[in-house]
Amino acid sequence: MELPIIEPFKTKMVEQIYRSTREQRVKWINEASFNLFNLRSEQVTIDLLTDSGTGAMSDRQWSAMMLGDESYAGASSYYNLKNAIKEITGFNYFLPTHQGRAAENVLFSTLVKEGDIVPGNSHFDTTKGHIEFRKAIPVDCTVDIASDLTALNPFKGNVDLDKLEVVLKSNAREKIPLIIVTITNNTAGGQPVSMANIRGIHDLATRYGVRFFLDSARFAENAWFIKTREDGYSGKSIREIVLEMFSYTDGMTMSSKKDAIVNMGGFIGFRDEELFRQASAYNIIYEGFITYGGMSGRDMNALAQGLNEGTDYEFLTSRIGQVAYLGSLMKEYGIPIIEPAGGHAIFIDSKSFLPQIPDEEFPGQVLATELYIEGGIRSTEIGALMADRDPLTRANRFSGKELVRLAVPRRVYTDNHIRYVAATARNVYEKRDLIKKGFRIKREAPILRHFTIELERV
Ligand code: F0G
């Protein structure tokens, strides 16, 4: 019998999980105005709010931290990180930043101006925010199949090359400072982008003379999907696949808080020295000198080590396997989820789960609240609350999709915790007909309202 792939780590230090009663949780979520961001972490049993910055570092990362060199310029930690980035991504030039959105800020300050167009695949919120903040326009060229929540397509994160070509063809070259493609595609359900697609984008970008960057927060998970789903890649190592993915691009933005398994950090990788030089000026203004850019030496050391661990095939198999396990239990219980399971998260389709709740009463938030009350699970609504109001009409933006994301932190929870999460969802599903009403908004901020919104029951 073939032995299963196991987690390539064991536990050395543990952190307490907080238990609570249903009565306590009902009280707390009321006090939090039904906004899960307002809960204290001690009020949460299993925290699936995000997989970002919530991973568990290894003993090697912690010991690398002790060797951190805190010199302002030219620290050895900077060179450790530079070497790791060069080895894993192939980029000769890089700038450290304090997290992913800071990398976007520095890169887009260098490249994007008012009226520009930035095509991509379901740009992540902060990416979109940084483009729109500069009065430029993000154009979503994701494949149509991505909006079919249960279509079993292996690469639902892909860019539709025809849509992309239309954008490239119908706009002046100077209007398109870059194409930015997110791997994996978080907004579309943690779905991967194939190598063939990345190559196709590269060919178009070359033909039209436009730069091509990858938003790489989950690049290692994307490589794992290429290895396991795309013809011709099963015999290649994750590292070979990662190098090939980046070889087709001009650079990358990185939130190191995901696949590099650190609690804080980011960077930008560049192929072109001149662009790196231009961006360096913004890095110094916004982040810090180019050899630390918002990171301490110890954090750069931990990141260098984390890049190595995060690209380990056995680790990725167990990590993505755990997310898939959560998905398979949900399916077994009849719960409607986005399929195939994403790399970092399971997305529940709240409109199918709670068809009795109209969009105007925010079914995603209703379901997230019920999962909390039932089992102390913290998830996020990815629906109308997060989509904000239309900047001009101020109407709620109902996209037809109301999702709840259960994002699984790396190396943190056991499969038993996963079973607990699935059982919680099953209990809510069995009682779903008893849920009659949703929420109305009591107070909201003009933008990014979901972080601070206050709600009340209808
Ligand atoms: N790009 C993607 C694809 C992301 O998922 C995120 C963050 C960022 C960029 C920004 O990085 O947080 O380091 O500034 N995603 C987190 C999430 C917040 O929960 O999905 P950051």
Catalytic residue among 98, 130, 227, 258: 258
Residue 446 scores a pLDDT above 90: no
Exactly one of 78, 91, 93, 124 is catalytic; name it: 124
Position 399 pLDDT exceeds 90: no
Can 124 be counted among the known catalytic residues?
yes
CA of 315 to the centre of ligand 1 (A): 21
- Identify which of 126, 94, 16, 99 has the alpha carbon closest to the alpha carbon of residue 448: 126
Count the neighbouring beta carbons within 10 Å of the beta carbon of residue 134: 18
Q: Is 52 in the pocket of ligand 1 (CB under 6 A)?
A: yes
Q: What is the dihedral of CA 232, 234, 240, 245, to 10 degrees?
A: 60
Give the pLDDT mean for 408-433.
Answer: 98
- Specify which residues 251 forms β-bridges with: 213, 270
The predicted structure's pLDDT at residue 4:
86
Question: Which of the following is catalytic: 75, 217, 302, 425?
Answer: 217
Per-residue confidence (pLDDT) for residue 294, from 0 to 100: 94
How big is the CA angle at 228 (ends 316 and 319), to the nearest 5 degrees?
20
> DSSP letter at 159?
B
Q: Is the CB of 253 under 6 A from ligand 1?
A: no
Per-residue pLDDT band at 391 (split at 50, 70, 90):
confident
Using one digit for the tens of pLDDT, what is the confidence trace for 329-372?
Answer: 999 999 999 999 999 999 999 999 999 999 999 999 999 999 99
258 classed as catalytic: yes
Q: Which of 411, 405, 450 is nearest to 186 (CA)?
A: 405
Are the CB atoms for 310 and 256 separated by under 8 Å?
Answer: no
- State the Cα–Cα distance between residues 148 and 145, nearest whole angstrom: 5
How far apart are the CA of 166 and the centre of ligand 1, in A? 28
Bridge partners, 396 (sequence order) = 389
Q: Is 219 in the pocket of ligand 1 (CB under 6 A)?
A: no
User: Residue 400: is its pLDDT beyond 90?
Assistant: no
215 lines ligand 1 (CB under 6 A): yes
Contact between residue 80 and residue 301 where contact means Cβ atoms under 8 Å apart: yes
**DSSP run (H or E) holding 95:** strand 93-97
The answer to whether 422 touches 330, Cβ cutoff 8 Å, is yes
Mean pLDDT, the chain, whole residue set: 97
Residue 125 pLDDT class (50, 70, 90 cuts): confident
Residue 99 CA: which ligand 1 atom is closest? 13
- Residues 161-212: tens digit of each pLDDT: 999 999 999 999 999 999 999 999 999 999 999 999 999 999 999 999 999 9
| 293 Cβ closer than 6 Å to some ligand 1 atom | no
Q: What pLDDT was estimated at residue 79?
A: 98
Query: Ligand 1 atom closest to Cα of 49?
Result: 19
Which pLDDT score is estimated for 222? 98
Percent of the residues in the chain that have a pLDDT greater than 90, as a whole number: 94
Whether the per-residue pLDDT at 307 is higher than 90: the answer is yes
Q: Does ligand 1 lie within 6 Å of residue 191's CB atom?
A: no
Lowest mean pLDDT among 129-133, 142-146, 377-381, 390-394: 390-394
